[in-house]
Structure 1
Amino acid sequence: MPKKIIFSKETIIEKAFELFKEEGIDSISARNVAKALNCSPAPIYSSIGSMDILKDELVNKAKKLFMDYITVKKTNIKFLDIGMGFVIFAREERQLFSNIFLIESMERALMTEFLDLIHDEMKKDSRFFHLTDNERNEIFMNCWIFLNGLATLIATGFIKNPSDDYIKEKLLNNPAKLLYEYLEKHPKK
């Protein structure tokens, strides 16, 4: 007769996600999760199956949380909303942001998905149709460098608890300003 599972899959994922947010993906082991749950590793394997499955669940959970931040409409400019969401995520989920975007050992799937989202939005927006690929990439890279820098400064505590208005003002008054000014001058058709 199989041993009764002490913890549900959801409970294990939640506790492992807390550990992942605080210590990164490399901290996820059966032993560490079991310690956080105050149990042996056996219930983790019984409920989840393997550490690879658990890590995939955690990456997907982080991806969903991140995508929730960058898809919130805050302004009338979708690209500004994405940028604000990225920086607000860095402010509110500092450790998770660091574990995803600043630590080399983290799987780069989430960052790639984020960058692809921006590229896809640019491809769909008629205001960019007349630009060459090089021009679009130049605008994108200028925005990305500033956006990532601002988010990193916030996540690492160099800029302390900025308001949404502060974030918006910084995003509107920087090298990426060229993008926002361009979008305002060329209304979407």
Structure 2
Amino acid sequence: MPKKAIFNKEQIFNKAFEIFEKEGLNAITARNLGKALKASPAPIYAHYDSITDLKVELIEHARNRFLEYLKKPFSHLIFLNIGMGICAFARENKSLFSSIFLREQSFDDLIRQFRDTTKNEINKDPRFSELPSDFKDDLLLDCWTYAHGLATLIATGFFEPTDKEIKERLLKGAATMLYKRLDDFKK
């Protein structure tokens, strides 16, 4: 008769996600996770074929949480909603934001995935559909840089703004960037 599993998949995933938030994706190993569960690594493999499979699931869960913030309707402007979403995500998920955007140097692809998720949301704004791809890419980089910088200040506790303050800062910064890009585009 097979031995009964000590931990279910949800318990293993939740503990792994805690480690991911606090210590980063590199800290997810069978040994570390087993230690956090106060067990051997064996229960992990009852539910996951590999630690890589678990990491893929963790990343997908984090991306979905991030996407929820990007899609929140803070205003009628998609660009502004995305910037506010990034900042709200950083404010309400400080450890996870830090783990994804400030700690994972060896997971550059992870940051690209989150940036591309943002780009896909921006592409849904019909006001930008007629603009050249290069222009939209430059604008995305400018907005991403500004919003990410503001979100980093929020996640690290340097700046603790309200939604209203985030909106004001983003509008001021985005307007400046947009007008500069439009001026450059028209030249």
Moved more, 81-90 or 105-114: 105-114
Instruction: Find the counterpart in structure 2 of residue 42 from structure 1.
Output: 42
Deviations 1:9-56 (A, max 9, x none): 111001110111001011111121112112121111122222111111
With structure 1 as the length reference, what TM-score do the two structures score?
0.84
Equivalent residue, structure 2, for 1:187:
none
CA contact (8 A) 2:139 2:178 kept: no
The number of equivalent residue pairs is: 180
Alpha-carbon shift at residue 89 of structure 1 (Å): 0.7
Question: Percent identity over the alignment?
Answer: 46
Distance 2:57 2:69 in 1: 19
- Counterparts of 1:63 and 1:123, CA distance in 2: 18
Q: What is the distance in 2 between the residues matched to 1:63 and 1:157? A: 22
Q: Structure 1: which 5+ runs fail to align?
A: 182-189
**8 Å contact from structure 2 (residues 31, 40) kept in 1:** yes
- The 5-angstrom pairing of residues 110-125 of structure 1 reads 110-125=110-125
Q: Kindly indicate whether residue 168 of structure 2 is the aligned counterpart of residue 169 of structure 1.
A: yes
Query: 30-39 or 5-14, which moves further after superposition?
Result: 30-39
RMSD: 2.2
Q: Which amino acid aligns with 1:60?
A: E
Asked whether 1:57 is paired with 2:63, we answer no
Letter in 2 for 1:146: Y
Structure 2, unpaired ranges of 5+: 180-187
Tell me the equivalent position of 2:81: 81
Given that 2:78 and 2:125 are in contact with CA atoms closer than 8 Å, whether structure 1 keeps it comes out as no
| Contact 1:25 1:106 survives alignment (8 Å) | no
Counterpart amino acid of 1:171? L
**1:40-97 CA-partner distances (Å, limit 9, x unpaired):** 2111112222211111111111111111111111111111111111111111111211
Normalising by structure 2, what TM-score?
0.85
Q: Is the 8 A contact 1:71 1:82 kept in 2?
A: yes
